Amino acid sequence: MSDQPSGPAQTGDVLELSVGEAASGGWCVGHLAAQPEPGGDAGRLVVFVRHALPGEQVRAVLTQVTSRFARADAVEILRAAPERVSPPCPHAGPGGCGGCDWQHASLAAQREFKALIIAQQFRRIAGLDLPVTVEPLAGDAGGLGWRTRVRFAVDRAGAAGLYRHRSHEVVRIVDCLIAHPLVTEAGITRQRWPGARSVDVAVAPGTGERAVVVQGGPRQGTDQSSLTQRAAGREWRVHARGFWQVHPGAADALADAVLDALRPEPGDRALDLYCGAGLFAGVLAAAVGPAGAVIAVEQDAAAVRDARHNLRGTPWARVHRGDAAEVIGRIGPSGATIAVLDPPRAGLRPALIDALSAAGPAGLRRIAYVSCDPATLARDVAAFARLGWRLERFRAFDAFPMTHHVECLAVLAPAEH
């Protein structure tokens, strides 16, 4: 195979690339280190390359070629960046597990890449120049041992492992190094799971509880319906399949950050949209007191039951079941003065942004928007800006070390304030 193909680029071709900036999704942008032969089209390719770092020279094999771009894996490092380290996991390289994107970079470098990518997204999508620092969280061991929920895939032979990157092929592993020790102790990869499609393990580090959920096969079901998580100075019941932050330090950090952002006062009325098990609603209810009110909205039935259970000691906090946009479209902001939004990766529906902005200066004085997707967050911040809001503060948290994911908090306030 040639390092610079003269004809149309194809999957399996090997290219020598100079690696440029980090890009969203755990990729870097690669550029051909030498010009292709006359008549070739490889020089026009935009190549997104994994397992490389900015500033490196690599030899990379193309794994996908489209009319607009190509994807590649760096299989040989010709000139290494100073931030490069040896991945702690043997499955973290080309052809291995797709769960970790940045094990070959130091933690400091990983956070710098994430900060640069967030800034890129806000500049490109929202037109904002945003200084970003990605803050570490307490509760991991140098970026390892933090993931409190892991879905293990099961192959046709009944062996449990993790999916290869951009594939449904199962990589058999012994231990996942980013999994919390309580997950590893479940021994999922050391057992056979005939007929199963997947095995989910969720743990609660604060109480030592663990739930195992099997999808498919004779052992389908769960060994525990809920877990008791600890955060913000109290306990929370969370369904075994329900949403809870997977990093053991994230729930505490985000609860503190939301309170710091919203600065709730006794008597305030607060909204918590996409409330899950009620973490933010609970800390806001304690802050606004019985003279205030919290209106929480959640669509998932199990999460609604958990939230109502978790908020039973603060009857001024009520949970509505339904789609957030539809519920707020029906009841309006209900006189709320502050709001926290924690939507799924897809972000907010435009109708919800309109409804939250409808009251004008007499309405919300501040919104805390929690997001794990900088692109949809930037899009929604831009939509709020068109309706008279400004980005007052921004924070980012390294809630997913070794991966490209990051948790963000955008604080919005009316532009005239």
Q: What angle do CA 79, 24, 380 make, to 5 degrees?
A: 160
**Can you read off the two tokens belonging to residue 241?**
């399949």
Q: Say whether 358 sits in a helix, a strand or coil.
A: coil
**What are the distances in angstroms from CA 37 to CA 59, 175, 399?**
18, 46, 45
The residues pairing with 179 across neighbouring beta strands, listed in sequence order, are 147
Nearest CA among 324, 417, 300 for reference residue 366: 417
Q: CA 266, CA 195: separation in Å to the nearest integer?
A: 55
Residue 408 bears catalytic tag: no
Instruction: Please compute, for residue 176, the number of CA atoms within 13 A of its CA located in the half-sphere on the CB side.
Output: 31
Cα–Cα distance for residue pair 322/304, rounded to 1 Å? 9
Which amino acid would we find at residue 80?
A: A
Which two three-digit tokens encode residue 355?
Answer: 């409804």
Which letter does DSSP use for residue 263 in this model? -
- Encoding tokens for residue 51? 């397992």
The amino acid sitting at 92 is: A
**Would you put residue 38 in left (φ > 0), alpha (ψ -120 to 50) or beta?**
beta
Local structure of 408: helix, strand or coil: strand
Report the C-alpha gap between 3 and 15 in whole angstroms: 4
- DSSP letter at 179 equals B
- Choice among 97, 275, 372, 408 that is catalytic: 372
The Cα 375–Cα 121 span in angstroms is 6
Positions marked active-site: 372
